[in-house]
Structure 1
């Protein structure tokens, strides 16, 4: 740098001992040198920034700044840059969802971001996986602490060389010809040698149509040879029962088989075994005694608040993806659309609006261009002037919405958001009695702005999205949880309704009544773990709305009139722009069919009334 700026003309003017500057840098090389100098300076600034401790939110801002400085999103790198930004976004979300407000060092943030990138990229070594499932083939085994071999019964392993009659290998074998039986034996030997601490081998040895007191099917010949090679103390066969709720898994008598070999941690299987023992005689009960640990204690059910709220968004999806563990749609989050996006819709528009709200509600001057670049690099904005114009339009619209005065607070929406962001979320656990023997522990977080300067405390629930029945219901459930947890501050609900901001204030109705309403929702949640609850938020809300407004003379006529309205909401005759109708949801269609959740009209009415029928304005 000194050679480029100073040259060689003034060598005599340099102090003694100072190296002579090199003046070979000129022309295009000067541009490269300038880039290097800027890169080194940026690295020094980033190193200085990493030398101090910061809060998680401050670290997220610093990392976002570093990504914009050191990485350029191109057609070849936009996916990798998007993954790094997504990891930083998770760090920011963790800071907002946790109660940690203390500053942390760089090592904590680095481990967090590295773990998120490792999960997304899948680049972790095979040895780091907790459990690896694979077919038993030669060369497929790697050293493991515990190796489990399943299905090692005689006739199943090793495979026999059954070849068709026209195969010459059946009558004349040559050196080097493949043998599946020999390959399986080699794979078995490799698996045995790969076990470092324990080798687990299992097979079905009982004949379901025969005597279940002793095994009739022998193990594989390779397992038999292995057992002969070891002493009896080394290889210990364990005969498991046919059902997981067999009493032998829960006995606690001294010297019993369950005390050493048979055991189970399944509370469901234990309850089943206890129920089956009720009808047995006293003599049978003396032979096999079920462990009575916890029999008189109340059953405690742990439920997360967000899981309860998500359930009412789509009970059918919660049932299929929860208890059944099935997904009816394949959603690739990293897959791009077939057509280029010009105007965002649905979840994409919601994510962009949420980012704009966070930017405008933050303290200081908002860096709009930086946010636009980040959204563009993540594929959330259209390229060119079309995407820039749409982004600026959203910025202007949301900025105007944040100037709305919150009824009851006499401050703008932006000021209320800024006040709430200074509050640290608090974790709570609320215990609710469902029955005499069932206790529910509902866990979640609350954010309440404390009272001060003559004003009362409050909680703000704002999203720049349309005003829908589920949004109001979710806000109401959070308010009930806050009241039950002792944070009975008014909750202000604000959502977009056409060109205005719809406002509603939820107040507590009394601690006992709040708890009873929560119990009502929790009962529906627990029912939804056994079967699909006939509830669709928009459909049920339109049903209740029509049921209230009906001027029919009889109860039956009011229900019929409301049912016709609900059926129109389920499958509208004409669908305009907006979210797709409920009948197009794959989970609802699998649970209710094309007819909708009206098969049991009495149950549909009962659930809709239980959810929406109260003094609060839950129906838009």
Structure 2
């Protein structure tokens, strides 16, 4: 079921399975016989994780337990192991030559194992063909060994021959494959799928085909056969000859050329015929369809037409739209304020990290985060993106806990997270060295065992904010990120700093320390302002506004604008140009421009207007005034 598939996918991803049954299967392909990222390695991790926890720090006989497996997942894990064992046995058996009778027994066992309850007509036909191998062996008087390509070719020819012999020209419309010497005159003939990469077909031959390995003049050619079939079909059409192909890219609408045979026909038509009105003949012959069936072009009386009433109504709705793009939220939302009268510290921080996402997801229940991408089927060749950040952050945490990072390398290697060989070692120890340098930068602020946690609850303007603030050392909140520090990190620390200052003034003057890694270790200290309550009250009011309509606040771009104005003294016009450039580029970061929630709220236009400028300064200017590098 869907739930079981989700669990199975999570287990495969988490255990680091990418491809290959085991190290022997890799060696058989001429590759280095490493076990990492194979099915055997992943299943060993899953089984060991079911038996014992590793907590990301222990290995047993070079196997790292996978911790995120629960008792209820054991049945799914057992089914997965059973499947992989069967496939492994099948791979081994199919790779060896057998007699025809032995092939019959092997393939029959495969069908029974993988389709135990199958009784369909196609499956019965396949079983009949497989069981007939014994008769073929007896009638041919051949008891030699046969390899898999021979068996595949026999199955292909037998099954295709039976399929093509059924249902040809037994009704008003006949659907069939293009077969030589079988075309007969018809009033209408339609050829579907004459794409440039599909027709003429490419020649493919079995491994044992001696003709293909040593071609001679006058040998049969698949491409020439297809050329003949195309001409034969053209000659067989009496009234109408219709050709269909994909001519435009679904992503960017760029032109895709058709089959070379179609291009030749179009060139001939263009040279040989001229319409009476003097236009290009191809404009009358070639009909270009639209991407969507509800395009208004299908209902304007031209060469495109449709009988769909539903598509007609959709086309009318498109035509009724005004010239500008209609906002997703055209007016403020009202009501249900009592549902949001209480919020946690983390949720409030998440709001300012992405106000559009918070509004759409929390209040309207709109989730634009699609399903995970397909499971990787390649071993990691480098640490990049989110995987690199996760490992860097984990190593920093362990370094701050005074753990030996060198001893953790075998664990990370066993999990399959690192690239294989020397590259993985270099990547790991590069991050480990960076973690040591960054931890050394903030060690003066951290006294081991001196961390305190503040439990906070504040009622302000009809809103209750509660939660805990961790990582407090003395009079400082310490936050460390083993990556470049951005606007999102600053706003999270700012919210916690203001809230702690408002709720526990007895702590005296407090500050927030934010450490990160740019070209090297970077450290920034932010002092809590004396008017912390007033500033936090303004943030609360912005939160209330953001529950009704999207705020034009985008932490990374807003920080660029606010720092240029409040810190560098740039004019608003110059700072806005810099913000637009950051909006368009934001090299090395996830671009706010491409965020699906922001795009849904503001469309394709750049939402950096006067309101954006006002909010950027209102939120970040007090932070900048209390900052020290």
Normalising to structure 2: TM-score of the pair? 0.45
Normalising to structure 1: TM-score of the pair? 0.46
